[in-house]
Amino acid sequence: MRQTVAFAKWVFLSLLGCSAEGALTAMVSKWYVAMSSDCTHVFLGMKAIIASPSMRALMTLAERVARSNATVLILGESGSGKEVLARAIHHFSGRSEKPWVDLNCGALPEHLIESELFGYDRGAFSGANTNKQGLFELADKGTIFLDEVAELERKMQVKLLRVLDGVPYYRLGGVKKVSVDVRIVAATNQELETAVADGRFRADLYHRLTQITLRVPPLRQRIEDIAPLACHFLAQHDPSLRFSPDAMEVLERHRWPGNIRELRNVVIRAAVLTMGGEICAEDLPLEKNSHPEAASGPASSLEGMERKMIFEALNDSNGHQQKAAAKLGISRRTLSRKLKTYDSDFTEARL
């Protein structure tokens, strides 16, 4: 794509003169926007931009997988689009008219995960004043998506395995067994085989989850998606702005360790800070940093130093959070929570 745009620009300017560069920029921008529209899909209310051959092939495979009731494990780096793929599987499945329920397993403390998934009866614990259905019951006949499934503690892994095997379960404090018909789609940015070897993840649950395994490629391996994604994010923030061809070349050369989330934040920042109607290469905050630590200001405080160390570890481990956590001497769950805080802070700072 970069070569095509560069060659078109050279031919156009050679024929019409450098004064035509502004016209070329507008023409190329309209082409990118049109391409973005052609690549847009919506799965359960979430927009997905799919232009690259690798992602198109993956979506074709997901559509085939969706026709079965097999459990699916989705692998991929943080921010690469695993939830979009999970939603597409439900969208294409025979369960599409039934409930879709999702849970981030790393977002809740261990003592809340069980009650969220399996529910509880009145009197199960202090404050349980009514019966509450768990997420498995709410997802009956539909799909439940367990994001960051590697964060589950081993006790919860055992209970999840029993549900996968079709064994009825009790709510917390309950005396009546509950049976559900749920299709489970799970996702993680960790290598579960390594977690099994380290004793952090049960081998039997791993084999039960991996009836079908799909891997979402990182953004740096699907360059064709960058331009339409960038134009989509820009149109959401300010439809009057456009990218110059040079800016698009810079975006396509970047490695995007934060994947789509990082691209979105970079586009929003550039849209906020640009002085004209066109985002040029120099408006893109990519030369000095690849992660959102720029939003934190100087690393003079303890919090700033911590943030800097975390993103340096992520860079050194090529975005692999488990390796970064091991290098930092903290748990993967702790790292995940801190990154969610940083991403929230970064987005607010950009806006």
Claim to verify: residue 153 and residue 287 sit in the same structural domain: no
Range of the domain at 91: 43-215
Binned at pLDDT 50, 70 and 90, residue 200 comes out as very high
Q: What is the pLDDT of residue 139?
A: 97
Give Cα separations from 239 to 83, 165, 199, 235, 267 (angstroms). Answer: 26, 50, 50, 4, 12
What secondary structure does DSSP assign to 76-135, as a single string? --TTSSHHHHHHHHHHHSTTTTS-EEEEETTSS-HHHHHHHHH-B-TTSSTT--S-B--H
104 bridge partner residues: 147
Claim to verify: residue 96 and residue 187 sit in the same structural domain: yes
Claim to verify: residue 13 and residue 58 sit in the same structural domain: no
Claim to verify: residue 67 and residue 138 sit in the same structural domain: yes
State mean pLDDT over 39-47. Answer: 87
Quote the number of domains for the chain: 2
Q: What is the pLDDT of residue 306?
A: 78
Is residue 221 pLDDT above 60, yes or no? yes
Report the percent of the chain where pLDDT is more than 90.
61
Is residue 199 pLDDT above 60, yes or no? yes
Q: What is the pLDDT of residue 226?
A: 95
Claim to verify: residue 60 and residue 171 sit in the same structural domain: yes
100 bridge partner residues: 143
Q: What is the pLDDT of residue 342?
A: 62
Claim to verify: residue 129 and residue 110 sit in the same structural domain: yes
Binned at pLDDT 50, 70 and 90, residue 13 comes out as very low
Angle formed by the axes of helices 82-92 and 53-66, nearest 10°? 40
Claim to verify: residue 51 and residue 187 sit in the same structural domain: yes
End-to-end CA distance of the chain: 30
Give SS3 for 182.
coil
Which of the two residues, 256 and 26, has the higher pLDDT score? 256
Q: Return the closest-CA partner of residue 47 out of 228, 220, 263.
A: 228
Buried b (16+ CB within 10 A) or exposed e, 111-136: eebbbebbbbbeebeeebeeebebbb
Q: What is the pLDDT of residue 244?
A: 92
Claim to verify: residue 308 and residue 345 sit in the same structural domain: yes
Is residue 17 pLDDT above 50, yes or no? no
Q: What is the pLDDT of residue 233?
A: 94
State mean pLDDT over 315-327. Answer: 78
Q: What is the pLDDT of residue 38?
A: 66
* 254-306: pLDDT as tens digits: 999 999 999 999 999 999 988 889 999 999 988 544 444 434 444 445 666 77
Last residue of a domain, one of 215, 230, 247: 215
Binned at pLDDT 50, 70 and 90, residue 37 comes out as low
Contact, 151 vs 333, CB < 8 A? Answer: yes
Q: Residue 145 and residue 83: Cα distance in Å, rounded?
A: 8
Phi, psi of 144 (to 5 degrees): -115, 130
Contact, 293 vs 274, CB < 8 A? Answer: no
Claim to verify: residue 237 and residue 293 sit in the same structural domain: yes
State mean pLDDT over 139-167. Answer: 94
Determine what percent of the chain falls in helix, strand and coil, rounding each to the nearest 5: 55, 10, 35
Last residue of a domain, one of 196, 215, 234: 215
Is residue 345 pLDDT above 50, yes or no? no
Instruction: Give the domain CATH number at 60.
Output: 3.40.50.300
Average pLDDT, the chain: 83
Contact, 195 vs 201, CB < 8 A? Answer: yes
Instruction: Give the domain CATH number at 310.
Output: 1.10.8.60
Claim to verify: residue 28 and residue 127 sit in the same structural domain: no
Claim to verify: residue 245 and residue 313 sit in the same structural domain: yes
Last residue of a domain, one of 215, 247, 282: 215
* 160-187: pLDDT as tens digits: 999 999 999 999 999 999 999 999 999 9
Is residue 30 pLDDT above 80, yes or no? no
Q: What is the pLDDT of residue 290?
A: 46
Is residue 34 pLDDT above 70, yes or no? no
Is residue 239 pLDDT above 80, yes or no? yes
Q: Return the closest-CA partner of residue 90 out of 6, 153, 186, 183.
A: 183
Q: What is the pLDDT of residue 7?
A: 42
Claim to verify: residue 57 and residue 204 sit in the same structural domain: yes
